[in-house]
């Protein structure tokens, strides 16, 4: 059975999950009577070798000998058992790991439907009234809230038709309004998700969904849907992301809208929207708004405490780097060092969490002017492209600070590296950011720049006026230090 789908699947479960699977296999409620009677014994035998699923005793002949000691080996019999057990494991996964668990409203809707369909008006009306009151008390108004509202309205229509048979007093259009809001919120959330990938990570095809949302917005305005706070927030977010390359987008109105309606927005929506605001602010910062550094750092601290930065009970490498970067740029060195030590074991979403930690520790040492220690910690195997680019930029800065003779060749190598990154990998503005950085660094490193005051001033003006350059503050600082 070595390298079989069955054993590979079982190897994915934790100990607690295997205990739950064992209970599942014991229960006749979840499976048919046609299940082979020896199936549970088969599972228990496999689990006796849980720590080593490559054990020789799990070869088919040995398993057969254990289950059927008096029978001659028949290969197909074990194959059928393996297939039957794998099928039960798949059933267990569907039930045990159901992430779309029903809300209390949806569970009550099932009760209402049950009694209504059996003409028990007394119970149907009782649970409908109870569910409606519970719904009215709901504070959070995310997508699920409107889907629940649609289900309640549908039951209201069905109860009304059965008990009064009067169509005139029914507002059938209004009954579907929560479903319309649910649908539009779903589309907008997805549109913002795709736009954020395209704007902040790498280019993707988003033309069709932009056209769809643009066509949808006039309908929403005409029907008054934008009076809904969450829809209004997502439309505002969508417009900011869509125009991000065209204008200096303002995040403040969006931030105020979210703060104003914070109690209505579910946690996961607040988490996603908070991430978009941080990215918008970081983009403004990269365009030259240095006054945002402290504000962004405070925002990251606040979002960390609220749990908005959590990913699978940890922190993504990009988030980790941004907290360290904002902390160092705002001179909060003690906070950064404590953060590095506290969260180094919580880095998620990478095959090399230690390298992410060491990169950020290198950044910390760089700001402390401990260049040799910083250089020793940099590697070239980051699976996150932006870490790889950042590491190469930091390397150039270290070689500049230490007046290394290999800086010119390293500048050329970085220039070639950025050139080879296709448009499918990084957006044009990211390519321009890094190209301008390396071009300015080359001019900064030219001895003639320090000797010619006019040349120095021209370079300073170019750097200040250029909105597409990374490490702008450092470049200007080094330019002012030239004598």
**Residues 66 and 87 both lie in one domain:** yes
HSE value, Cβ hemisphere, 13 Å, CA-based, for 63: 29
Give residue 420's pLDDT band: very low, low, confident or very high (50, 70, 90): confident
**Residues 58 and 79 both lie in one domain:** yes
Give residue 89's pLDDT band: very low, low, confident or very high (50, 70, 90): very high
Average pLDDT in the 353-375 region? 93
Last residue within a domain, chosen from 159, 175, 191:
175
Give residue 99's pLDDT band: very low, low, confident or very high (50, 70, 90): low
Residue 174 has pLDDT above 90, yes or no: no
Residue 115 lies in a domain: yes
Give residue 335's pLDDT band: very low, low, confident or very high (50, 70, 90): very high
**Residues 80 and 111 both lie in one domain:** no
The whole-model pTM stands at 0.71
**Residues 44 and 21 both lie in one domain:** yes
Residue 113 lies in a domain: yes
Residues 241-260, buried b or exposed e (16+ Cβ, 10 A)? bbebeeeebebeebbebbee
pLDDT score at 32: 64
> pLDDT (tens digit, 9 = 90+) per residue, 289-320?
778 889 999 999 999 999 999 988 899 998 99
Domain range enclosing 63: 5-96
pLDDT score at 42: 93
**Residues 85 and 159 both lie in one domain:** no
**Residues 85 and 108 both lie in one domain:** no
Last residue within a domain, chosen from 154, 175, 196:
175
Number of domains observed in the structure of the chain? 2
Residue 18 lies in a domain: yes
Residue 412 lies in a domain: no
Residue 65 lies in a domain: yes
Residue 165 has pLDDT above 80, yes or no: no
**Residues 21 and 89 both lie in one domain:** yes
pLDDT score at 36: 80
Residue 401 has pLDDT above 90, yes or no: yes
What HEC string does the chain produce?
CCCCHHHHHHCCCCHHHHHHHHHHHHCHHHCCCCCCCCHHHHHHHHHCCCCCCCCHHHCHHHHHHHHCCCCCCCHHHHHHHHHHHHHHHHHHHHHHCCCCCCCHHHHHHHHHHHHHHCCCHHHHHHHHHHHHHHHHCCCCCCHHHHHHHHHHHHHHHHHHHHHCCCCCCCCHHHHCHHHHHHHHHHHHHHHHHHHHHHHHCCCCCCHHHHHHHHHHHHHHHHCCHHHCHHHHHHHHHHHHHHCCCCCCCCCHHHHHHHHHCHHHCCHHHHHHHHHHHHHHHHHHHHCCCCCHHHHHHHHHHHHHHHCCCCECCEECHHHHHHHHHHHHHCCCHHHHHHHHHHHHHHECCCCCHHHHHHHHHHHHHHHCCCHHHHHHHCCCCCCCHHHHHHHHHHHHHHHHHCCCCCHHHHHHHHHHHHHHCCCCCCCHHHHHHHHHHHHHHHHHHCHHHHHCHHHHHHHHHHHHHCCCCCCHHHHHHHHHHCC
Residue 249 has pLDDT above 60, yes or no: no
Residue 189 has pLDDT above 60, yes or no: yes
Give residue 148's pLDDT band: very low, low, confident or very high (50, 70, 90): very high
> pLDDT (tens digit, 9 = 90+) per residue, 7-61?
999 999 999 999 999 999 988 887 666 778 889 999 999 999 888 888 889 999 9
**Residues 161 and 113 both lie in one domain:** yes
Residue 267 lies in a domain: no
Average pLDDT in the 255-261 region? 89
pLDDT score at 203: 79
> Do the beta carbons of residue 280 and residue 252 sit within 8 Å?
no
Place of tokens 């004598």: 483
In percent, the amount of the chain with pLDDT more than 90 equals 50
> Do the beta carbons of residue 149 and residue 178 sit within 8 Å?
yes
Residue 167 has pLDDT above 70, yes or no: no
Residue 320 lies in a domain: no
Q: Mean pLDDT over all residues of the chain?
A: 88
pLDDT score at 296: 92
pLDDT score at 18: 93
**Residues 37 and 83 both lie in one domain:** yes
Lowest pLDDT segment from 191-195, 290-294, 364-368: 290-294
d(CA 417, CA 48): 52
Residue 399 lies in a domain: no
């Amino acid at each position: 059975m070595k390298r079989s789908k069955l054993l590979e699947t079982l190897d994915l479960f934790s100990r607690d999950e295997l205990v739950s699977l064992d209970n599942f296999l014991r229960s006749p409620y979840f499976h048919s009577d046609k299940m082979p009677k020896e199936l549970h014994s088969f599972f228990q035998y496999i689990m006796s070798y849980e720590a080593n699923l490559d054990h020789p005793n799990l070869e088919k002949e040995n398993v057969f000998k254990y289950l059927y000691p008096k029978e001659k080996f028949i290969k197909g019999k074990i194959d059928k058992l393996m297939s039957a057990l794998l099928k039960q494991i798949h059933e267990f996964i569907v039930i045990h790991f159901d992430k779309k668990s029903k809300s209390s409203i949806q569970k009550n809707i099932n009760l209402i439907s049950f009694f209504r369909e059996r003409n028990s008006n007394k119970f149907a009306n009782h649970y409908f009234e109870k569910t409606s009151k519970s719904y009215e008390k709901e504070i959070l108004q995310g997508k699920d809230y409107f889907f629940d509202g649609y289900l309640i309205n549908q039951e209201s229509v069905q109860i009304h038709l059965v008990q009064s048979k009067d169509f005139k007093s029914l507002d059938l259009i209004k009954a579907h309004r929560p479903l319309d809001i649910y649908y539009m919120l779903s589309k907008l959330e997805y549109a913002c998700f795709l736009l954020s990938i395209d704007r902040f990570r790498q280019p993707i095809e988003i033309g069709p969904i932009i056209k769809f949302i643009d066509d949808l917005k006039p309908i929403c305005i005409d029907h008054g849907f934008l009076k809904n706070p969450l829809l209004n927030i997502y439309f505002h977010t969508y417009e900011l992301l869509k125009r991000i390359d065209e204008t200096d987008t303002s995040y403040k109105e969006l931030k105020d809208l979210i703060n104003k309606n914070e109690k209505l927005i579910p946690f996961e929506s607040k988490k996603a929207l908070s991430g978009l605001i941080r990215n918008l602010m970081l983009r403004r910062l990269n365009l030259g708004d240095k006054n945002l550094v402290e504000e962004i750092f405070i925002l990251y601290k606040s979002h960390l405490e609220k749990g908005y930065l959590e990913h699978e009970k940890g922190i993504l490498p990009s988030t980790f780097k941004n907290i360290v970067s904002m902390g160092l740029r705002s001179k909060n060195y003690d906070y950064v060092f404590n953060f590095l030590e506290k969260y180094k074991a919580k880095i998620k979403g990478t095959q090399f969490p230690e390298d992410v930690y060491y990169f950020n520790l290198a950044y910390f040492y760089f700001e402390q002017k401990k260049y040799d220690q910083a250089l020793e910690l940099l590697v070239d195997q980051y699976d996150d492209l932006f870490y790889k680019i950042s590491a190469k930029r930091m390397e150039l800065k270290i070689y500049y600070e230490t007046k290394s003779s290999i800086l010119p060749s390293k500048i050329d190598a970085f220039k070639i590296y950025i050139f080879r990154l296709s448009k499918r990998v990084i957006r044009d503005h990211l390519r321009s950011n890094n190209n301008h950085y390396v071009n300015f660094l080359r001019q900064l490193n030219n001895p003639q720049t320090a000797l010619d005051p006019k040349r120095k001033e021209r370079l300073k003006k170019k750097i200040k006026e250029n909105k597409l350059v990374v490490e702008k503050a450092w470049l200007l600082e080094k330019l002012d230090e030239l004598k």
